[in-house]
Amino acid sequence: MLGGMAWSSQGQGAGALSTLALTALLLPTSAAAAEPDHLDHLDHLDYQAPKECPAKDELVRAIEARTAPSRAEDMRTFRIVIERAPAGDFVGRLDVLGASGVPRVTRAADCAAVVKTLALFVVIARTPEEPPDMVPPASPSPSPSPVPPGTTPPPSPRALVVATHPPRATSRFRYTAAVRASLSTASSSEVTTGVRVQSELSWRAAGLPVAPLVRLSYGTATFDTAVEPGNASFRFRTGRLEACAAIDLGRHVDLVPCVGGELGDLVANTSNRPIAVRTATRWEAMTAGGGVRWSVLPWLALGADLVAVIPFTRKQFAVVEPVHRVYAAPPAFVEMGALAGVNADF
């Protein structure tokens, strides 16, 4: 009996040991199953992105890597939409449905960077606020150490303010080469048409609306008049030097008043007459006027102007057989022009 009892006790001990071993094997699995799965809290995550962006699993891992164990399940819906902008970069947007918050938007050239930023936005939105009684009291600030006499105390960190300023405008030169077409009243009976090529150089100081400008041009203007019998043609060939001011009116528009002078010659030709004549005389005049200049593009300028031409001497031309006057320069005439040019800043 004693032997039987001893054998029975050993059997019961072996059974108990087997039960303990099985329990030990099952405990870690039960503990892991009981451990809260943080991904369950992101069931309300709506993620839409192009194919070249990271998958939703990578976004979830990025969120959970920055999130402490949640004290309560977040029932709000987090909607994330990533799109490719026309410029080629990626734009991401986070909307929290069920909360009165402002959508958060981020932009970057790399979609992975956009995903990381949006993950941080989700973490911030899911982080519960601490109640007021949980805020630790502020530690008392250390008393400042005594400053030896004769030395200047260091500035307080709060007194250090970094001031930012917008970029300052810089002075610049501008060169403009242009072609100008004109109509004038040099002849009282006929319309005078002309064309000029001109070069301008201006200098605009930083912050000033007025820029001095120097203009040098050369051009011709012609008109015809009837002579009985035959006809006569006249041609102005002049160089013009002008001092101007470019006044900034805003929206890339300048008002350009000018004053100057021109020097050249006036050539007359007669044809279909018994005696053909060609004669030239010196031409000198003063000019004054103004115009409007519009920089359509940084390198392209269009403009229109009105110039008064005042000759220093009134030239006269006459023919013989019979003798009569063909042309006499007026005391002043008006010239209207339109131009197109190219700009270069340096």
Q: What is the pLDDT of residue 154?
A: 61
Per-residue HEC secondary structure of 259-313 comes to EEEEEEEEEEEEECCCCCCEEEEEEEEEEEEEEEEEEEECCEEEEEEEEEEEECC
Q: How many CA atoms lie within 13 A of 264 on its CB side?
A: 17
Domains in the chain: ranges and CATH = 45-126 (3.30.160), 172-345 (2.40.160.20)
- Phi and psi at 280, nearest 5°, equal -135, 145
Least confident segment among 131-140, 230-239, 240-249, 333-342: 131-140
Note the pTM of the prediction, 2 decimals: 0.52
Least confident segment among 143-147, 161-165, 174-178: 161-165
Q: What is the pLDDT of residue 80?
A: 92
Q: Torsion over CA of 206, 211, 216 and 217, rounded to 10 degrees?
A: 110
> What DSSP letter does each residue of 34-67 carry, written as one string?
HS--GGGGGTTEEEE--TTSPPHHHHHHHHHTT-
